[in-house]
Amino acid sequence: MKWYFCANEEGVFRYESSIKVAVESAVQRTSLDPHVIYDGGHHPILDWMQSRGVTIVKRRTPLAPDILARPNGPGFRHRIALAVYLRYEVPLVEPNDQFCLYSDSDVMFVTDPDVEAISPSILAAAPEFVPQDWSYFNSGVMMMNLDAMRQDYDNLIARSREMLKGSAPYDQPALNDFYRNRWDRLPLDWNWKPYWGHNPDAKIVHFHGPKFQVIQYLLGEGEETLVHEIWRDLFGRAPEAYRHYLAEARALVPDLNTD
């Protein structure tokens, strides 16, 4: 089965280490066929990705004019929005398969997930911060029913365009609004967050929140860096789990530069 993630030019510059961990873990530990939807010019990591078997699909979100029309500021970054809405494009660039796995680029595959066992009616996802709270899903890992989401595409774009004008920008609030009470449950170990603790049964670890540079600094190993309070709080819930998963990432990418 195909695995898709998304990135833009600024994203690959900022999060090169995260991308390398995601790709290396997928290549070394799974049978997934890696694809990236990319918006931007050439960057050396694109050559590296191709050398690791990643198919690069160049595309720009049709929401780009709406994104750029909204003021760029602390609560809304053009560079983030231009990347995250690219996940909507997966059903259009993948016209043949019925299902695929989507994830953000800040994941690490621990084992090969049994993707054939999950066939959502539209999409399957797991909770955001609290594992027992199934009222709102995190869009960082999703099993997609491409046929169903392709049929919804125009309406989802229209709804997202409306929400870009309001107080809930980015894709995740729009997806939760649009698919309210219509999404299936993805096992927690497919979108396991380090702040939930170490899980020996995790299939996919999602570095939701602090990334490698911040994790290293909070472990007392790296140079001082900007740490948002929410990142500090998440890290403080399970520092030893972060230590474990950082070591695992370094084992996958020995020359890991913490981004």
Domain with 41, as residue range(s), is: 2-188
Q: Is residue 102 part of a domain?
A: yes
SS3 of the chain: CEEEEEEEHHHHHHCHHHHHHHHHHHHHHCCCEEEEEEECCCCHHHHHHHHCCCEEEECCCCCHHHHHHCCCECCECHHHHHHHHHHHHHHHHCCCCCEEEEECCCEEECCCCCHHHCCCCCEEEEECCCCCCCCCEEEEEEEEEHHHHHHHHHHHHHHHHHHCCCCCCCHHHHHHHHCCCCCEECCHHHCECHHHCCCCCCCEEECCCCCHHHHHHHCCCCCCCCCCHHHHHHHHHCHHHHHHHHHHHHHHCCCCCCC
Q: Is residue 21 part of a domain?
A: yes
Going residue by residue through the chain (259 aa), what tens digit of pLDDT does each one get?
999 999 999 888 889 999 999 999 999 999 999 999 999 999 999 999 999 999 999 999 999 999 999 998 888 999 999 999 999 999 999 988 999 999 999 999 999 999 999 999 999 999 999 999 999 999 999 999 999 999 999 999 999 999 998 877 799 999 999 999 999 999 999 999 999 999 999 999 999 999 999 999 999 987 778 889 999 999 999 999 999 999 999 999 988 865 5
Q: Is residue 233 part of a domain?
A: no
pLDDT for 258 = 56
pLDDT for 189 = 98
Q: Is residue 238 part of a domain?
A: no
Q: Is residue 145 part of a domain?
A: yes
Which CATH number do you get for residue 72? Answer: 3.90.550.10
